[in-house]
């Protein structure tokens, strides 16, 4: 939400009648009087009416009636206007965009507050007052001091109590030193036991590696285990050459067979009776014999001429027989060649089967895998030999002598020291560090010195009257509801920026801060952690200012709520630091609307923002 307009008439601290149109960003309102106009109180009266007329206290002196109004732009860009007669009734209006007229929404005080919260985005009254308005009266040093008994307690520190506390701390320091010596011895024993256990484990690991290597060597493949010739690896290497040699030998035998003519195994000698000459000769001879036998005279002697054709037929028959014999001789020689070829092929098949069986036995799919498997025994023999040498050297090493007994003795001694430490720590085993006790002794000595001679120390209150209540818990309670986080989660978001503001405002007297779960705050000075209630009054105000600026800045990243600052910081912030505060407010104005109210003597040009006189 944004504050768009502020109109007043007869209101204390303002001009008799004024209307100011405000814009987003950093706005300066210059009052007609030396004191800043009570803009924060006026907005609280308008936005959170109580219905009992208590806002009549804002009337200008000498006036019986007065009016005030403010216009807001809601988160949904709607425009709302509050109009109120001081001490009387007020009304809430909403701008009708169609008619450009303000229409009355309600005149009931409770309904007005509810509508402003739900529709406009106004936070609860306590939240708006504590986080989004900043007035001098809100600073811790301007409030009432704490309770009287607390001031009395801080003022009357009992030196005897501090001396008793200091004595107890010194006794605790002596015990802590004794416990430290025991702890030093225990750490040494633990370290030695750890070292010996490491050696023992290394010996066991070495023995385990040796046993594993021996077992692997025993299961590694060898020609004897596989039942193959000793030169099986060489045979595998020669397999391609042997295959080539076998093929060449077979080819040579086949060539010899072909040259010998024994390769025509399918050729058959044609039968002689299929020869026409043989049949013609037989027929002619028979015809002559028949004619000679059946006739007489000269023709009868024709049978003598049958000898010629019969002789020719006999020659043909003899030739047929010779061819049959030649074919038989060639068939025998072909069988010899076939047997030679089969033997060559069978020899190579046996050679190849032997190799395949060996490769299958070692589970090798390729020859390279077979070579690796068969070379493994030699590799394992080398590994076993190396491990045996290492194990033997470890066994004869004096450092490794009787390791289990030595480890057990060290652990027993360590257990005894642990028991002594438990007794020193009262059964809990816990003892504070010497450094922590020394710090407590130093603080106790300082507190004792202050009790005896209360002088102002760096960052601490010089007298009981300067003790104030911590404003942080109340701020964090409201902020938890606003941000929806617990205290520690919220502080995690605020810490860095708050420390940055505090460091700049306090001239680096403090370099850190923390807020505990209950909301109590502490600042970090060199060498000490100081509760904010023990800060010098001005430093407590600076802490409050740093936290307030951070809360407004961080919430502005979620939603815009106008921040009203009534300037009166001269007595709170050193004069040279006022320009720095102005720059911080201007930076906040880049995130949300900041209304900076100043007095008449303030040079508004120094603020470098929109400036209006009210």
What is the domain partition of the chain in residue ranges?
1-122+562-574+591-614, 157-454
Task: Dump pLDDT digits (tens) for 215-230.
Answer: 988 888 888 888 888 8
Rounded to 5 degrees, φ, ψ at 38 are: -80, 65
Share of the chain above pLDDT 70, in %: 88
Q: Round to whole Å and give the CA distance between 361 and 365.
A: 10
Compute CA distances 563 → 507, 516, 589, whole Å. Answer: 26, 27, 9
Gyration radius from the chain CA atoms: 60
Torsion of CA 503, 505, 506, 509, to 10 degrees: 20
Task: Dump pLDDT digits (tens) for 565-614.
Answer: 988 677 788 888 888 999 999 999 999 999 999 888 766 444 556 777 87
Q: Which of 13-27, 399-413, 429-443 has the lowest mean pLDDT?
A: 429-443
Q: Tell me which residue has tokens 């003892």.
A: 431
Cβ(560)–Cβ(524) below 8 Å: no
537-556 vs 487-505: helix crossing angle, rounded to 10: 120
Cβ(272)–Cβ(278) below 8 Å: yes
Torsion of CA 588, 594, 598, 603, to 10 degrees: 60
Provide the CATH number for the domain formed by 1-122+562-574+591-614 in this structure: 3.40.50.300
Helix (H, G, I), strand (E, B) or coil at 407: helix
How crowded is residue 277: how many other Cβ atoms within 10 Å of its Cβ?
A: 13
The larger pLDDT score, comparing residue 430 to residue 270, is at 270
> Of 99, 25, 61, 84, which is closest to residue 607 (Cα–Cα)?
25
Please give the average per-residue pLDDT across 81-106, as a whole number. Answer: 89
Q: Which of 274-278, 332-336, 423-427 has the highest mean pLDDT?
A: 274-278
Task: Dump pLDDT digits (tens) for 350-397.
Answer: 888 888 888 888 888 888 888 888 888 888 888 899 998 988 888 888
Compute CA distances 97 → 75, 80, 102, whole Å. Answer: 16, 11, 9
Looking at residue 434, its pLDDT comes to 75
Looking at residue 287, its pLDDT comes to 85
> Of 276, 278, 272, 281, which is closest to residue 306 (Cα–Cα)?
281
Q: Round to whole Å and give the CA distance between 302 and 297.
A: 10
Is residue 137 predicted with pLDDT exceeding 80? Answer: yes
Query: Is this model's pTM higher than 0.75 or not?
Result: no
- Mean pLDDT, the chain, whole residue set: 83
Kind and range of the H or E run holding 390:
helix 367-396
Rounded to 5 degrees, φ, ψ at 94 are: -130, 135
């Amino acid at each position: 939400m944004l504050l768009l307009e502020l109109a007043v008439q007869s209101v204390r601290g303002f001009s008799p009648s004024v209307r100011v149109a405000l814009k987003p960003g950093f706005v300066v309102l210059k009052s007609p009087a030396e004191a800043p106009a009570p803009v924060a109180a006026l907005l609280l009266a308008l936005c959170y009416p109580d219905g009992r007329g208590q806002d009549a206290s804002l009337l200008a002196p000498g006036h019986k009636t007065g009016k005030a109004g403010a216009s807001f732009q809601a988160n949904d860009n709607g425009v709302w206007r509050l109009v109120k007669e001081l001490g009387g009734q007020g009304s809430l209006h909403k701008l009708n965009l169609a008619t450009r007229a303000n229409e009355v929404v309600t005149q009931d005080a409770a309904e007005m507050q509810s509508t402003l919260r739900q529709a406009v985005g106004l936070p609860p009254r306590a939240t708006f007052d504590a986080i989004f308005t900043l007035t001098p009266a809100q600073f811790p040093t301007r409030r009432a001091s704490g309770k009287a008994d607390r001031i009395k307690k801080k003022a009357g520190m009992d030196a005897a109590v501090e001396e008793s506390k200091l004595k107890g701390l010194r006794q605790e320091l002596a015990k802590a030193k004794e416990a430290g010596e025991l702890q030093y011895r225990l750490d040494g024993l633990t370290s030695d036991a750890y070292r010996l256990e490491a050696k023992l484990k290394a010996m066991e690991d070495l023995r385990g590696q040796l046993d594993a290597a021996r077992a692997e060597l025993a299961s590694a493949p060898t020609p004897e285990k596989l039942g193959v010739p000793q030169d099986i690896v060489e045979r595998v290497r020669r397999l391609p050459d042997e295959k080539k040699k076998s093929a060449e030998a077979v080819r040579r035998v086949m060539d010899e067979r072909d040259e010998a003519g024994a390769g025509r195994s399918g050729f058959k000698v044609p039968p002689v009776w299929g020869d026409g000459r043989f049949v013609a000769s037989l027929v002619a001879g028979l015809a002559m014999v028949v004619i000679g036998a059946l006739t007489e005279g000269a023709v009868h002697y024709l049978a003598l001429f049958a000898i010629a054709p019969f002789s020719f037929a006999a020659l043909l028959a003899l030739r047929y027989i010779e061819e049959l014999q030649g074919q038989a001789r060639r068939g025998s020689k072909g069988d010899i060649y076939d047997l030679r070829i089969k033997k060559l092929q069978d020899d190579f098949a046996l050679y190849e089967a032997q190799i395949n069986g060996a490769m299958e036995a070692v589970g090798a799919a390729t020859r390279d895998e077979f070579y690796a498997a068969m070379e493994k025994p030699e590799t394992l023999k080398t590994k076993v030999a190396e491990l045996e040498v290492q194990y033997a050297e470890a066994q004869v090493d004096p450092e490794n002598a009787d390791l289990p007994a030595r480890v057990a003795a060290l652990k027993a001694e360590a257990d005894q020291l642990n028991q002594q430490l438990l007794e020193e720590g009262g059964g809990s085993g816990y003892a504070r560090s010497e450094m922590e006790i020394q710090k407590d002794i130093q603080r106790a000595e300082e507190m004792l010195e202050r009790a005896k001679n209360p002088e102002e120390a760096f960052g601490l209150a010089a007298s009981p009257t300067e003790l104030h209540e911590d404003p942080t818990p109340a701020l964090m309670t409201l902020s938890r509801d606003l941000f929806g986080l617990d205290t520690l989660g919220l502080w995690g978001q605020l810490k860095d920026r708050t420390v940055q503001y505090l460091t700049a405002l306090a001239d680096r007297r403090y370099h850190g801060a923390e807020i505990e779960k209950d909301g109590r705050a502490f600042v970090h000075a060199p060498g000490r952690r100081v509760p904010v209630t023990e800060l010098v009054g001005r430093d407590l105000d600076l802490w409050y200012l740093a936290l307030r600026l951070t809360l407004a800045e961080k919430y502005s990243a979620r939603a815009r709520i106008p921040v009203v600052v009534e300037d009166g910081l001269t007595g709170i912030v050193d004069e040279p630091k006022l320009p720095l505060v102005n720059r911080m407010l201007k930076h906040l104005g880049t995130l949300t609307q900041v209304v900076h109210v100043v007095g008449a003597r303030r040079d508004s040009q120094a603020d470098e923002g929109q400036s209006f006189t009210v």
